[in-house]
Amino acid sequence: MIYSDKVMDHFANPRNVGTIPDADGVGQVGNPVCGDMMAFYIKVKDDKLADIKFQTFGCGAAIAVSSMVSEMALGKSLAEAMAITNEKVAEELGGLPKNKMHCSNLGADALHKAIEDFERKSVPGAAAAPSAAPDSGHDDHDEECACPYCEGPVEGLDDVCACRHCEIDLVECPSCGNYTNKADAACVSCGAKVAG
């Protein structure tokens, strides 16, 4: 098996699946174009995560990671939840295949985004701040220098970029400007032809 028993258990019986219509915070990362998309919804009471729900579009690892993150964070204080790292999630799952490690990034990131959304909303007078509510668009590339596959940091500049997590070389798509796998013929974001 490519996955540990723990991963398969969380994939087969994911904990805390769903949405919270009146969530205190919502965090979403990834998009279906990249292969993984996660949305986390949280309810906060007395600085603790009273409820967590998630939805995930993605592979077995992505679903298991979301489930594990929700389980690890439920009932914890916001500070404790913010301290959950990608490594800890992967460790709790009994390890992930090397090429699936990027999934664990997404899980913790989505949770942290939901907490940040809550904190932004709880600042008085910040109601007009842009919300991190889910949308169906592919506009999650606003953060500069993010790997389109794992949303992790991109190393290097211009045409010698690489994502250390995915172990791939990246180039900027001449059409949409997003990063895409250098070895691919077409851009992962817009499908435009990338001159090899």
Min separation Cβ 11 and other proteins, Å: 6
Nearer residue to other proteins within complex by CB, 55 or 77: 55
Q: Is 103 a catalytic residue?
A: yes
Q: Are strands 168-172 and 161-163 parallel, antiparallel or unpaired?
A: antiparallel
Task: Please pick, from the candidates 10, 11, 93, 104, the single residue that binds other proteins as defined by CB under 8 A.
Answer: 11
Min separation Cβ 138 and other proteins, Å: 9
Q: Which of residues 140-179 bind other proteins (CB under 8 A)?
A: 149, 166, 168
Pairwise CA distance, residues 187 & 170, whole Å: 10
DSSP-assigned letters across all residues of 152-193: -BPBSSGGGEEETTTTEEEEE-TTT--EEETT-SB-TTT--B
The reply on whether position 20 binds other proteins by CB under 8 A is: no
Q: Is 34 a catalytic residue?
A: yes
Task: Please pick, from the candidates 25, 27, 58, 152, the single residue that binds other proteins as defined by CB under 8 A.
Answer: 58
Q: Are 159 and 168 in contact (CB under 8 A)?
A: no
Residues involved in catalysis: 34, 103
